[in-house]
A and B are shown apart, each in its own frame.
Chain A
Amino acid sequence: MRKPYYFLLILSVLTLLGTSAYRTAEGGYQVGDTATDFKLKNVNGQMVSLRDQKEAKGFIVTFTCNTCPYSKLYEDRLVQLHQKYAPKGYPVIAINPNDVTISPGDSYAQMQKRAKDKNFPFVYLHDETQEVAKRYGATRTPHIYLLTRNGQDLKVSYIGAIDDNSGDPEKVQKRYVETALDHLLTGKPVPQTSTKAIGCTIKWRNNS
């Protein structure tokens, strides 16, 4: 008589485990998902959305900021990525999602200053509501989402780090983003579609 209860108990525990696992997996995009467009303000005052850039084959969407040392270490490498791949159809789209009240160094004015000082050749967008970072599932800076145009849609082709050595560009062995782009440009599947790296946690607004 007690057996059905045990069965129910196990079933409910499994369901609970299942939903929690599902929830973490659902938080943001996975490789293969269709990414949605956004409209964010660039440092030059203009609103930018991916839809407007019709000639692009895809985008190197990078969640980054002014204040994180890891982001700063990658600024020059982001410029190089843009210079190499924007002419081939993949421009860098840099997005700063940090909350200004927690991280005043990431204000729109400070972003404008940083873009000017570092002479960013790419757009640097302010995700003021943090809605885009949340939708994409970005957790840290820098955090790359490589998008490829597929008809009307944008497909997530790679999520992760730029390369395997944030501290020393000279010692980089694996250029994850470049490898992925080179494969995409020749119509081959991306060999490593996701990587992880240490980064600064995104400074989320307190009420969220």
Chain B
Amino acid sequence: MLKSYIIVHWEGKIRYIDMKYRKSMFLRLPLFLGFMLFSVLLTARAQAQAPKVPAVKLAHLQKYLNSTADTTYIINFWATWCKPCIEELPHFEAVQQQSKGKPVKVILVSMDFVKDLDKRVVPFVTRNKLKSIVFLLDEPDQNAWIDIVDPSWSGAIPATLFINNARKQRLFLEKPMTLAQLQQHLTSTLSKTP
């Protein structure tokens, strides 16, 4: 019953279009083209809104490790497959939001494999609406750079480095933190005069 109604309805509409087609062609064509342009622009905009998670090399991370600016970088090493890491990510996001206007930058360094970037990391960042800086460190020979981050790091994640070279502050933790612990470590870093 429903199906036949739709067909009748459509047939009616098609007949209507047929009748009016000649008269309104000059009006419809630009409208149609305009609609096409609009939809193309809309998809382009949606793509631009998808977060960009760049895959970077060690030199990019070292820019933050060696920065002499009076900024406290909270560099967290995580991965989409690491449960304790994902559980503490909201704390880092909260601290970044609370530190607006302060020289504090949260940097989330993904340890996922680069082949999982589009499949896992970007969807994760989109879904959780992460606002901190996120990049994927594409350096498979981990033994070559783990000591550069901190010699005491065995390689287990989550791991977090608080670093402010201007204030000669540096704290490395190879364990997850509560929000309160994270805030406390940040306060003690900022309390030291440069």
Interface size in chain B (residues, C-beta < 8 A): 24
Instruction: State the majority secondary structure of interface residues on A.
Output: loop
CA distance A199 to B159 in the complex (A): 11
B82 engages A200 (CB within 8 Å): yes
B113 engages A167 (CB within 8 Å): yes
Q: Does B146 contact A (CB under 8 A)?
A: yes
Binds B, one of A76-84, A157-165, A178-186: A157-165
B157 engages A200 (CB within 8 Å): yes
Binds A, one of B41-49, B58-66, B137-145: B137-145
Report A110-126 residues with CB < 8 Å from chain B CB. none
Interface size in chain A (residues, C-beta < 8 A): 24
Contacts between chains A and B (CB distance < 8 A), count: 65
A200 engages B142 (CB within 8 Å): no
Complex interface: chain B residues within 8 A of A166 (CB): 140, 142
Q: Does A52 contact B (CB under 8 A)?
A: no
A201 engages B84 (CB within 8 Å): yes
Complex interface: chain B residues within 8 A of A176 (CB): 143
Complex interface: chain B residues within 8 A of A196 (CB): 142-143, 146-147, 153-155
A residues adjacent to B (C-beta < 8 A) = 24, 69, 139-140, 143, 160-161, 164-168, 171, 173-174, 176, 195-202
Q: Which 5 A-B pairs have the closest CB atoms?
A: A140-B156, A201-B156, A196-B146, A167-B113, A139-B154
